[in-house]
A and B are shown apart, each in its own frame.
Chain A
Amino acid sequence: MKKKKSAVLLFLTFLASLSFAQAKKPIHHSTAVAASMARGKVVYTNICLACHMADGNGVPTMNPPIVNTDYVLGDKPRLIKIVLNGFKEDVQINGQTFSNNMSPHSDLTDRQIADVLTYVRKSFGNKAGGVMALEVKNVRALNNVK
C-alpha cells in the first residue's frame, strides 16, 4: 500500500518536472495559436454561436455578422471592450443595420476572451492577428477605471 502511494507520488513528481521543463522551452508560436483557437472555438460554441451563428454570418437585421467587418478585424481594444461591455446601439455593417443588444461578457476570463477573439479573427474567412490574454487584461484594467 505504502509502496503504491510512493510510486504514484514519484510519478507525479516526474510529470511535474516534465511540464516544468516544457514550460522553460520556447513554445512554437503556431502551436500556441492552434491551442488558443481550439479553446476559443469552445467558448464561441457555448457563448456566441446562438446569435452570431455557426458560420459567423449573424441574423439579418438582428445580430451582426462577425465576418469581414472592421469591428472584428480592426482595433483590438475596441473589440475586447465589446466583449467586456456588450453592445447596445444600432450598428451598420455592409449597408445593413443590426439592432439586437449584446450582453456584457465580463465574467469570462482574460484567457477565454483572448481565445475566443483569436478564434473569431482567424475563422469564417477572417485573417487577422490573434489576441493575447495580457491585451485583454490591460483593456479590462482601463475599462474598470472608466
Chain B
Amino acid sequence: MKIKKLFVLLLPALAVFGLIVFNACKDANKPANSDNAGLTLEPGFSAVAVAEKLGSARHLVITPENDIYVHLANPVHGKGILVLHIDGDKTTLKTSFADYGGTGIAIKNGYLYASNNTEVFRYKLNAQEEVIDPDHPERIVKGLLSRRMHEPKAICLDNDGNIYVNIGAYSNICSDYDPNKTGCPILDSAAGIWQFKVDKPDQTYGDGVHYGWGLRNVVGLAWNQQDNQLFVMQHGRDALHDLFPNLYTVHQSAELPAECMFAIKKGDNAGWPYVYYDWMQQKNMLGPEYGGDGKKGADPKYINPVAAYPGHYAPDGLMFYTGSQFPEKYKNGAFIAFHGSWNRAPEPQAGYCVVFQPFKNGMPDGKWEVFAGNFPGSLAQTSPNAAEHRPCGLAQGPDGSLYVSDDQRGTIYKITYNK
C-alpha cells in the first residue's frame, strides 16, 4: 500500500524523466549538424556548409582528390578561381589563381577549363589534378560578345574533344534591335551555344560551330553521358504583362514563360525571340512581338523543351547525378540550381532552390520536385535583395555527395544521404 502510494506520487516525476530520456535518444539519432545549414531537404539527406564567405561563388568542379575549383564572378584579392580541399565536413583554402572573374569552369581529361565574359582558357593538370602553371593558361577561345546583359560564358565538354560555350542574348526580347519585326539581327553571334575544339588556341566565331540557336541565355548546361547529348537550361524572357498588358495578366506574366530544359542536337533552334513555351498550356507559343496573342502556337520548326518549369526561376546550374551514394531514383537524373526570380513582382518572388528532375534512358521522366529549399533563410526573405543565399553551381564529390554553391554570400553546401 505504502509502496503503491509512493509510486503514484512519483508517477509525474517518472513521466518527465521518461520524456527526457526519450527526447535525448531522438536527438542522438540526429546527425551532429542537425540544422542542415538552414536548408530544407528530402528525408534522409543532410547538409553542411563546408565553406562560407568566399565571394560570388558561381560554378564549381570537384576532383577525385577532393579539391574544389570554384569560379568567382568578381575576383577576391585579385584571384577569380579558388581551390579548396575537402576534409569531411570542412574545407581549407589551398590556393587561388586567375586574374579574371567568371562563371564557367569544367574539368576533362587532364585539363581545367575556365571562362570570363569574352574568353575561355585551359590549364594543364598534374596527376593529382592540380593546376601546373596557374599564371600561364592557354587561351582557346577569344572575342566573344559581352554587351552588359547575360554576359557569363557558361561551359561544358563532350567526350569528343569539344567545348560548348553559351553566348547569351544582350537583350530581353530583341525589341531594341528589331524595331520593325523583320528578324532579330543579333542571332548570328549571340543567343546560342557555340562549339569549339578543346585544344586549338585563340578560336573565335569563325572557327567554331554555331551549335544551338535561339537560346536567350543559358547558364546551366551539361553533357548527358547516357545518350551523349547536350542539355541546356534557358532563362526565359521577361515582361509579358508590362509589354502586352492586354494579352497577359500580372499573374500570367509571373508564371510565364516557362524556364525550359532543352536537349540540343547540332543545328537545333529553340526560337528566341520569336517563340516562348507556356508550361500551363504545355505548348510552344508564338511571341507577342511577332504576332502572338497568348493562344497562337509557334512554328513547329522550333524545338520543344523536354521539361519546363515556372517562370523566372532562373536556372543557373545543371548537373546529371552519376554517383551511387544517393538512392537509386537519383541515378542519371538531373539536379537544377534555380538562382531565384526577380521578374515575378508584384507577385512574391520564387525559385531559390535546387530541384531534382527524374530521368529515364537519357530523357526527363516524371514530375520535378524541390530537393533542397530555404536558401533565402525564410519565406519573407525570398527576394534578390533579402535572400541570404542563392544557389548557383552544382558539382558531385568523389563520394557521391552533391555540392551547391551560393553566389550571394559565398557558401558551399555539401549534401549527403544518410542510409
Q: Interface on A for B, CB 8 Å cutoff? A: 45, 47, 49-51, 53-55, 57-60, 62-63, 89-90, 99-101
One of B47-55, B255-263, B341-349 at the interface: B341-349
Residue B182 interfacial (CB < 8 Å): no
B244 to nearest A CB, angstroms? 13
- A contact residues around B345 at 8 Å (CB): 49-50, 53-54
Contact A62 B148 (CB under 8 A): no
- Given contacts A50-B238, A54-B345, 12 further A-B pairs with CB under 8 A are A49-B346, A50-B239, A50-B343, A50-B345, A53-B342, A55-B385, A58-B385, A60-B385, A63-B342, A90-B148, A101-B149, A101-B176
**CA–CA, A49 and B343, complex, Å:** 10
B403 to nearest A CB, angstroms? 23
**CA–CA, A55 and B381, complex, Å:** 13
- The interface residues of chain A, by DSSP majority, are classed as loop
Contact A99 B385 (CB under 8 A): no
Residue B384 interfacial (CB < 8 Å): yes
**CA–CA, A118 and B226, complex, Å:** 59
Residue B103 interfacial (CB < 8 Å): no
Residue B383 interfacial (CB < 8 Å): yes
**CA–CA, A55 and B238, complex, Å:** 20
**CA–CA, A50 and B383, complex, Å:** 12
- B contact residues around A89 at 8 Å (CB): 148
Residue B242 interfacial (CB < 8 Å): yes
Contact B242 A53 (CB under 8 A): no
- B contact residues around A53 at 8 Å (CB): 342, 345, 383-385
Question: From residue 322 to 370 of chain B, which have CB atoms closer than 8 A to chain A?
Answer: 342-343, 345-346
Contact A100 B149 (CB under 8 A): yes
Which residue of chain B lies nearest to A86 when distances are taken between CB atoms in the complex? B176
A46 to nearest B CB, angstroms? 8
- B contact residues around A54 at 8 Å (CB): 345-346
Q: A53-B385, A57-B385, A60-B384 are in contact. Are A99 and B342 (CB under 8 A)?
A: no
Q: A99-B149, A100-B149, A101-B176 are in contact. Are A62 and B342 (CB under 8 A)?
A: yes
- A contact residues around B343 at 8 Å (CB): 50
Which residue of chain A lies nearest to B239 when distances are taken between CB atoms in the complex? A50
- Kindly state the interface size class of chain B when it binds its partner: 10 to 19
Task: Render B63-84 as a binary contact track against A, CB cut-off 8 A, 1 for contact.
Answer: 0000000000000000000000
Question: From residue 227 to 241 of chain B, which have CB atoms closer than 8 A to chain A?
Answer: 238-239
**CA–CA, A9 and B368, complex, Å:** 65
A65 to nearest B CB, angstroms? 8
- B contact residues around A59 at 8 Å (CB): 342, 384-385
Task: Render B187-215 as a binary contact track against A, CB cut-off 8 A, 1 for contact.
Answer: 00000000000000000000000000000
Question: From residue 90 to 147 of chain B, which have CB atoms closer than 8 A to chain A?
Answer: none
- A contact residues around B346 at 8 Å (CB): 45, 49-50, 54
- A contact residues around B148 at 8 Å (CB): 89-90, 99-101
B417 to nearest A CB, angstroms? 33
**CA–CA, A52 and B128, complex, Å:** 48
- A contact residues around B238 at 8 Å (CB): 50
Interchain Cβ contacts under 8 Å between A and B, 7 examples? A50-B242, A51-B342, A53-B342, A53-B384, A60-B385, A89-B148, A101-B148
**CA–CA, A53 and B268, complex, Å:** 36
Question: From residue 298 to 331 of chain B, which have CB atoms closer than 8 A to chain A?
Answer: none
B85 to nearest A CB, angstroms? 30
Which residue of chain B lies nearest to A57 when distances are taken between CB atoms in the complex? B385
- B contact residues around A51 at 8 Å (CB): 342
**CA–CA, A63 and B242, complex, Å:** 16
**CA–CA, A55 and B345, complex, Å:** 11
Q: Give the top 10 A-B pairs by smallest Cβ distance, nearest first.
A: A59-B342, A99-B148, A59-B384, A57-B385, A50-B345, A50-B242, A49-B345, A60-B384, A49-B346, A90-B148
Which residue of chain B lies nearest to A100 when distances are taken between CB atoms in the complex? B149
Task: Render B164-182 as a binary contact track against A, CB cut-off 8 A, 1 for contact.
Answer: 0000000100001000000
- B contact residues around A63 at 8 Å (CB): 342
Which residue of chain B lies nearest to A98 when distances are taken between CB atoms in the complex? B148
B117 to nearest A CB, angstroms? 11
Task: Render B146-164 as a binary contact track against A, CB cut-off 8 A, 1 for contact.
Answer: 0011000000000000000
**CA–CA, A79 and B44, complex, Å:** 55
- A contact residues around B242 at 8 Å (CB): 47, 50
A94 to nearest B CB, angstroms? 13
**CA–CA, A101 and B242, complex, Å:** 15
A136 to nearest B CB, angstroms? 22
Which residue of chain B lies nearest to A53 when distances are taken between CB atoms in the complex? B345
- A contact residues around B176 at 8 Å (CB): 101
Which residue of chain A lies nearest to B383 when distances are taken between CB atoms in the complex? A53
Which residue of chain B lies nearest to A61 when distances are taken between CB atoms in the complex? B73
**CA–CA, A57 and B383, complex, Å:** 11
- A contact residues around B171 at 8 Å (CB): 101
**CA–CA, A58 and B385, complex, Å:** 8
